[in-house]
Amino acid sequence: MIAKQVETISYSEFKRLLKDHQITEVVVLGLANHRDTLGKPLCPCRFYPDKQEEIKHRTWICACDDMQIYKYCHCLLFVNVEGLPITEHLPQDHEGREAYGIIRDPHPDKGRAVAKVQERHKEGEA
């Protein structure tokens, strides 16, 4: 189930998963384990003092806020064809931009669901 979700996101927004299948497998297994043990696919690439508290905030449930707002995957599960994470939409001081520089979004019309909702709300307030 989690692997299918990852494939769907990858195909619809990126057209590619990380080339290193061992890393992809570890991340997917971590997501599946969290879904089975916690009820939600909490990102396995971060440390949480209290996983149940993190679930309440929803920030790091895959597809996490960074993916939904910036189209950036901290786990490097979703990358461009060069194997790099998309950083174009990140704030300037974000760790991803500092590490990788600006990596353009090859499909700006896809993904970023939460960012698009936020933009519509801002337009409605203006």
The 10s digit of each residue's pLDDT in 84-125 is 899 999 999 999 999 999 999 988 888 888 888 888 878 887
Residue 62 annotated as catalytic: no
Superfamily, domain 2-125: Ferredoxin thioredoxin reductase catalytic beta subunit (3.90.460.10)
More confident residue, 5 or 107: 107
Q: Which of 45, 62, 64, 73 is catalytic?
A: 45
Contact by Cβ (8 Å): 41, 34 = yes
The 3-state secondary structure of 40-98, one letter per residue? CCECCCCCCCCHHHHHHHCCCECCCHHHHHHCCCCCCCECCCCCCCCCCCCCCCCHHHH
pTM: 0.75
Q: Residue 42: beta bridge partners? A: 61
* Contact (CB, 8 A) for 103 and 83: no
pLDDT beyond 60 at 10: no
Percentage of residues in the chain having pLDDT higher than 90: 37
